[in-house]
Structure 1
Amino acid sequence: MNDDASPSQATQNQAAAAPLRKIIHVDMDAFYASVEQRDNPELRGKPVAVGGQVRGVVTAASYEARRFGVRSAMPSVTAKRRCPELIFVKPRFDAYRAVSQQIRAIFLDYTPLVEPLSLDEAYLDVTEDLKGIGIATLIAQEIRARIRAETGLTASAGVSYNKFIAKLASDQNKPDGLCVIPPSRGEAFVATLPVSRFHGVGPKTAEKMARLGIQTGADLRAQSLAFLQHNFGSSGDYYFNLARGICHRQVRPDRPYKSIGAEDTFLEDLTDGDALIAELDRISQTVWRRIEDKGIKGRTVTLKVKFRDFQIITRAKSLERNVADRAEFLETGVALLRTLLPVAKGIRLLGLTLSNLTESPDRDELEPAELELELPL
């Protein structure tokens, strides 16, 4: 640790040269569950979980359910145990996509620079807004009011000078809240937050940071660039900047999907076939939720394996038609994995990806969605 650490001259120059932007991150409140409660008055005010009750997982939970500790990606059996009164409803992705299109149309009234992350959240760059309002906070207030009036749903928003802080801010006053972080408060705001909330810091990375004495943004800021590069490789520069409220990622609309996938790095290397298949099952659930969320279809399943010695191999299989459902997605991935079993050396990472996409989302196409999954995001 270096208490005297300061940004490198290159970082200082980069931050000084980067123009200040006006970024809004809009995040719908318990979106799927809220749509169900809106469309079925009998569900209002009650704990609701979208997903399968038998041998399934929770896709989304209402705020009434969250008070009992019910969360998305939680096994349905666990959710029911935590909340015996929990009401399960089957997901209606066509309905969610239709509402998402309504919301997207509202965004586009203010800026063409809209980058959806999923059906229920998006970044907007309103540095130059179409209505000439000029104040990002007022734009966010107007957008939230229109969403409520036109869809009957609530949204939370974060307003700041970059994507990183805007996304953090949108979560500060949920549900139905607004949080504004100007440039003068950015670094101090980041300092107070746990690093586990930072974009790009998953549970595994957060655990490693905790072992190094890094729990908050302030702890991260106290580390030298050399220390972070040594412990986190090329990501060290990224974390160094985040701790200082610096993020140069632009709002990027209309970038085509190339693939949707996820990967998980294990705390201990695995060799047992059943354990590896169980991990692949977990990964497939998260990937398939994103596939359904975005309304995408594809023909090629790719398995990625990283061994104990960091050797990486991939295996892929293309079907003559689109993969039908998660069961087939997982079955194809398992078949690829079985070609490697038994393994002579431990496996430290598995990944599963859908590509060769043949149908785009109903909304404009987005950026490639290849994420590093560190399961509980």
Structure 2
Amino acid sequence: MSKKKSHPYQPEQDVHRITLYNTIYPEHQHTSRKPRLYLHFDFACFYAQIEQLWNKMYGLPLIVGGWRKQNGQVKGIVATASYEARKFGIKTGMSAFEAWQLCPHVCMKQVDYDSYKAISEQVHYIFKEFAPVVERYSMDEYFMEVDFLLDKSRDEIEAFAKRLQNRIYEVTNLVGAVGIARAKTYSKLCSSLDKPKGRTLILTDDDERTKIWPLELDEVWGVARKRHKHILAEGYKTIGDVAQRGNEKTFMRLFGANFGKMLYQTITGQDQGRVMEEISEDYQLKQGVSYGHTFSEGSTDLDRIKGEYAIAVQHICYRMRSYGIRANSFFGMFGYNDPNSPGVGFRFVTQAHTNIDDYVYQALMDKVEPALKKACENGIEIRNIGLGTKEIDKTQQLNVFFQDNEEKVARTKAMDEIKNRFGRQYITKANTLTRVKGNTHFLERNA
């Protein structure tokens, strides 16, 4: 009798990748230093473009992520805004109410994640027509290895970029900008220089000096707010300042030997980042997996908030099993509805490395439930939650002092097989059914 075939895991299903890289890590780099060429394609206001196209709303200011309650109250968070809306000062991440205040006639649409994802997958196939190695960095951004263009003229390289843009538009009626550069980081930077549908080529030292060096340092991967302050304190304001006057030793002193060196190389365009296929191990697992979710309104219903955490646990544990990893150290957070109140972060550990939902959820509740209960009893509304792995294990070695319950493992495998075959919506744990009511700015938002 032939062995029953199992269905493959789908670790990237329902994942909206906000940010993948903090910088180009060593394991994301080529080992050789030969000349390379990278292409980065970035759709302009991807969600908004799709909604404008499907709803014949071209030329209208539109945000995705907002809606009105029955009483007319504006709720939600701006996931993206059309260029027409941005002219009024509307930005991604602000509340839909703020957007409405800036532009009272703004059109609002809720996120249709499944449809956007379907178009993203369609586009992925188109990119494969142009290059053998393609990385879908997020639903609306792609990297390509285009070393085969190295010996071509500038006109020929630009013609290649234009053919790609035309092909995307021919199939989807959507537009995006292209950046081509000698470093992966710089290709991403230069695609943003001529949006919504320009083409920017950084092929020479002079190109870098004139187009990249004037950019502010916080435009670069890895230069977050706190790091930016440290770098500014050293007298560096632009990429050019670091390229001309900076050195590795300064960054190593500020940020440590390994990360400091990598950050310096990223800023100065010396990284040799690989274009990584979507299901490669390195692509996702530098820092494990995580999940974040914002409720449409604040809640003081403890059971429903616990249900949202159960959903978070289910997501990250499924993805850990998909990648063949476990964790014993986790981080989490919850945020208040009051924007002036800082969120609460926490960490917790399980008895051993595991990817079984029950163990993670129990350890999570032992840590966070008392704080949640206190907030709810005092009428303090919770608005968002987050959960992720802190330390991961890829070895699959047996735990010495703790063993997963065989019945739990078997039941989990059976549930995974149903999810993999028919979809995650067809089976779930009972504790995930009690959710905070309302719409969300992302149907399921993961990072």
The TM-score, its normalising length taken from structure 2, stands at: 0.57
1:94 equivalenced with 2:114 (yes/no): yes
Between the aligned partners of 1:184 and 1:36, the Cα distance in structure 2 is: 40
Which is worse superposed, 141-150 or 253-262? 253-262
Q: In the alignment, residue 201 of structure 1 is paired with which amino acid?
A: V
Number of residues paired by the alignment?
Answer: 298
2:213 is matched with which residue: 168, 188, 191?
191
Q: Which residue of 2 aligns with 1:145?
A: 166
1:112 is matched with which residue: 118, 132, 142?
132
Alignment of 1:308-327 (within 5 A): 313-315=347-349
Q: Which residue of 2 aligns with 1:175?
A: 196
CA-CA distance at 1:73 after TM superposition: 1.7
Q: In the alignment, residue 19 of structure 1 is paired with which amino acid?
A: K
Between the aligned partners of 2:347 and 2:81, the Cα distance in structure 1 is: 37
The TM-score, its normalising length taken from structure 1, stands at: 0.67
Q: Which runs of 5+ in 1 are unaligned?
A: 1-13, 264-280, 307-311, 324-328, 343-349, 361-376
Higher relative contact order (CA 8 A, sep 6+): 2
Between the aligned partners of 1:161 and 1:320, the Cα distance in structure 2 is: 44
Between the aligned partners of 1:58 and 1:66, the Cα distance in structure 2 is: 11
Between the aligned partners of 1:146 and 1:51, the Cα distance in structure 2 is: 29
Q: Which residue of 2 aligns with 1:252?
A: 276
Q: Which residue of 1 aligns with 2:175?
A: 154
SS in 2 for 1:51: strand
C-alpha contact 1:51 1:57 (8 A) present in aligned 2:
yes
Q: Rg: which structure is higher?
A: 2
Q: In the alignment, residue 249 of structure 2 is paired with which amino acid?
A: A
Relative to structure 1, is the Cα distance of residues 33 and 334 closer, same or farther in structure 2, using a 3 angstrom cutoff? farther
SS in 1 for 2:178: strand
CA-CA distance at 1:260 after TM superposition: 3.5
C-alpha contact 2:202 2:208 (8 A) present in aligned 1:
no
Relative to structure 1, is the Cα distance of residues 201 and 333 closer, same or farther in structure 2, using a 3 angstrom cutoff? farther
1:25 equivalenced with 2:54 (yes/no): no
CA-CA distance at 1:251 after TM superposition: 0.6
CA-CA distance at 1:37 after TM superposition: 0.4
Q: In the alignment, residue 331 of structure 2 is paired with which amino acid?
A: K
Q: In the alignment, residue 55 of structure 2 is paired with which amino acid?
A: N
Q: Which residue of 2 aligns with 1:215?
A: 237
Q: Which residue of 1 aligns with 2:226?
A: 204
Between the aligned partners of 2:348 and 2:82, the Cα distance in structure 1 is: 39
CA RMSD, 1 decimal: 4.1
Alignment of 1:222-371 (within 5 A): 222-233=245-256, 234-253=258-277, 254-256=279-281, 257-258=284-285, 259-261=288-290, 303-304=330-331, 313-315=347-349, 336-338=367-369, 352-353=387-388
Relative to structure 1, is the Cα distance of residues 190 and 219 closer, same or farther in structure 2, using a 3 angstrom cutoff? same
Q: In the alignment, residue 261 of structure 2 is paired with which amino acid?
A: D
Q: In the alignment, residue 143 of structure 1 is paired with which amino acid?
A: L
C-alpha contact 1:304 1:313 (8 A) present in aligned 2:
yes
Q: Which runs of 5+ in 2 are unaligned?
A: 1-28, 68-73, 293-304, 334-345, 375-384, 393-411, 421-446
Deviations 1:218-267 (A, max 9, x none): 2223233222111111322123223432111111113154543389xxxx
Between the aligned partners of 1:58 and 1:213, the Cα distance in structure 2 is: 35
